Structure 1
């Protein structure tokens, strides 16, 4: 795993339904996922009957026993409301500062963290448990606004079995996608609507410098497909995904091969992704939301993250599933862009990307 300082410099979507990998759906569909209605206890005087509402992305998945552990420990019920991808989630939260649709939000990552912070949509809180590792991934200058929960790496994935069955050689680097034979075999995600898409755009900006726009022109000109989000790309179009599509190259995560046999990640194409939990300003249950932040850093949740959402926990000394590090390789090199640089340039980079790909 990269060092602490390296990650902070590099940082500024996988995975649901693990019959395959969880979705990073982009459509802004809000649904109540799990509602536990047993044993209620009061938190704040303004609480809504001892309930804590967590807004999260479509990829959120933890075992029911772990979710129910929050009720057992605190007496509070937990309502989970899923809302699209991390980018959609950040936008939803940023548009409602002081009038939130829930009490806490989980799943905003380092590529979008600046939006709710600058919008004033988050309440200050520093969990006492963060000293065990989470604080090493804090957003610089805003450690009290978002608390790190997990980390992973967005990378291109290869269906090795597809290439082997055709006696073809797969790409060795993300740079190889400029070749039409590889470009036409690739499905990527739109950085305007997908957090993995944003991460890969940042990979190209950080690794290629002034040549990144030409790279995208050549990749798209060679026949690469760009879709709205991870769910469509991986589970529908990727040849090794649930839908058994016709694209053997897809944008996903370095950890995805741990769930999908005969696939691998191009480890020179990666960008680090850290996911956070924060308390929404204007929450009616601030006390309950703080307890939820603490619970997300607990051993119960941290140890469940690898097999539930195929990400690494941020807390130190959390035991990983047997063989998991070997199947979910950690890149030795990743594209590096400071958070302030991402926040300052994101919109202009998106405009330049649209020009480059003709969207």
Structure 2
């Protein structure tokens, strides 16, 4: 099994957790509103996941620098986004796509839904996260780690010892306290699945079975899990253990991440093959690697930038420490075994 533990030597990107939405855009639209072939040289349409947000002044800066308006179309979680792109090769609903990560990257590349483009700016860090064996169809923008998050404040108020290790979650005292995500529909859900495979190897299905037997709740995606079910989330749910990111505690006081439970995740941007505004899409790739955007990522999307020399908020060192070890796998390996693993997961979950 080509699963690797990675001893971290630099920054880690804690995921696309949209915990704080202040100073951010929310230009919600539907894919049907942006049909194939639509667009002009004065507009760039970006397809992205529901959690994408950037400060409005940065979106305005793209127009100032390029003369093109940035139109943003949200399209579900990373899995749904990847599926949409992969099913429309050559006839895209936009010009560029952001938010496909390394758990889904192989699918749109194999479908030839992306146009190779190597940004000159990628040499400053992004190129280190290139998809192995690809021709430059996807460019890394941010990185992070999918990890179990704990609402420590919840445990403190109930005088219950919070879990400190991954494998404790199957213990009876943590029954009905965990919320997970379906790996077939959720990118962090798949990240959790891969983390268990890297940690427990062939015994991973036994761990899943233990989690399900211990009352773990499984939902469709991160927004539902964190903002509705998690006790420290926006909706003040009832469960104090959730799959999220190593960076999430930076946005949610009183929480922490189990740093022995993490899968290394990278998010990419790509130019869509057949786009109405290919040149505009390339400029958007360049822009996403600019110092302006990279510096805004930690506070707007709670992710780590990939470009070298990008400053991080000082508070992250205390509240969002970098995992010393993460599970890593190549997109091709994930793609080759995805259905096998999902079938095993479904067999356990459905019992």
Q: Equivalent of 1:249, from 226, 241, 245?
A: 241
Aligned to 2:17: 15
State the alpha-carbon separation in 1 of the partners of residues 333 and 289 from structure 2.
Answer: 28
What is the match of residue 2 of structure 1? 8
1:180 aligns with 2:180: no
Alignment equivalent of 1:297, drawn from 267, 289, 301 = 289
Q: Which residue of 2 aligns with 1:203?
A: 195
Q: State yes or no: 1:121 paired with 2:113.
A: yes
Distance 1:351 1:295 in 2: 39
Residue 163 of structure 1: which of 142, 149, 155 is its match? 155
> Deviation string for 1:241-261 (max 9, x for gaps)?
111111010110000000000
1:69 is matched with 61
Alpha-carbon distance in 2 for matches of 1:273, 1:78? 26
**TM-superposition CA deviations, 1:276-318 (whole Å, max 9, x none):** 0000000111111110000000011000000000000000001
Structure 2: unaligned runs, 5 residues or longer: 1-6, 32-37
Q: Secondary structure at the match of 2:323?
A: coil
Residue 330 of structure 1: aligned partner: 322
Deviations 1:129-148 (A, max 9, x none): 00000000110111510000
Contact 2:102 2:330 in 1 (8 A): no
Partner Cα separation in structure 1 for residue 39 and residue 306 of structure 2: 30
* Structure 1 runs (4+) greater than 3 angstroms displaced: 29-32
Q: Does 1:59 align with 2:56?
A: no
SS of residue paired to 2:197:
helix
Q: How far apart in 2 are the matches of 1:236 and 1:84?
A: 17
> 1:19 and 1:47 mapped to 2: Cα distance?
28
CA distance in 1, matches of 2:116, 2:16: 29
Deviation at 1:178, TM superposition (A): 1.4
Structure 1 position 47, deviation (Å): 6.1
Unaligned runs of 5+ in 1: 8-12, 23-28, 33-45
| Secondary structure of 1:158's aligned partner | strand
> Relative to 1, partners in 2 of residues 1:292 and 1:19: Cα closer, same or farther, differing over 3 Å?
closer
Contact 2:21 2:53 (8 Å CA) reproduced: no
Distance 1:171 1:50, change over 3 A: same
Counterpart Cα distance in 2 of 1:322 and 1:281: 40
Task: Please state how far the C-alpha of 1:219 moved relative to its aligned partner.
Answer: 0.7
Structure 2 residue 120 is the aligned partner of structure 1 residue 148: no
1:132–1:316 CA contact under 8 A, matched in 2: yes
The count of residues paired between Structure 1 and Structure 2 equals: 334
TM-score normalised over the length of structure 2: 0.91
**Partner residue of 2:3?**
none
What per-residue deviation string (whole Å, max 9, x for no partner) do you get for residues 68-124 of structure 1?
A: 110011101110001100011000000000000000000000000001000000001
In structure 1, what is the Cα distance between the partners aligned to 2:284 and 2:21?
28
**Deviation for aligned residue 1:325:** 3.0
Q: How far apart are the structure 1 equivalents of 2:189 and 2:71?
A: 29
Q: Secondary structure at the match of 1:241?
A: coil
Alignment counterpart, residue 91 of structure 2, candidates 99, 107, 111:
99
Which residue of the other structure, out of 242, 257, 265, is the alignment partner of 1:265? 257
- Equivalent in 60, 79, 104 of residue 87 of structure 1: 79
Q: 2:212 aligns with which of 212, 220, 225?
A: 220
Give the secondary-structure state (helix, strand or coil) at the position aligned to 1:153. strand
RMSD: 2.1
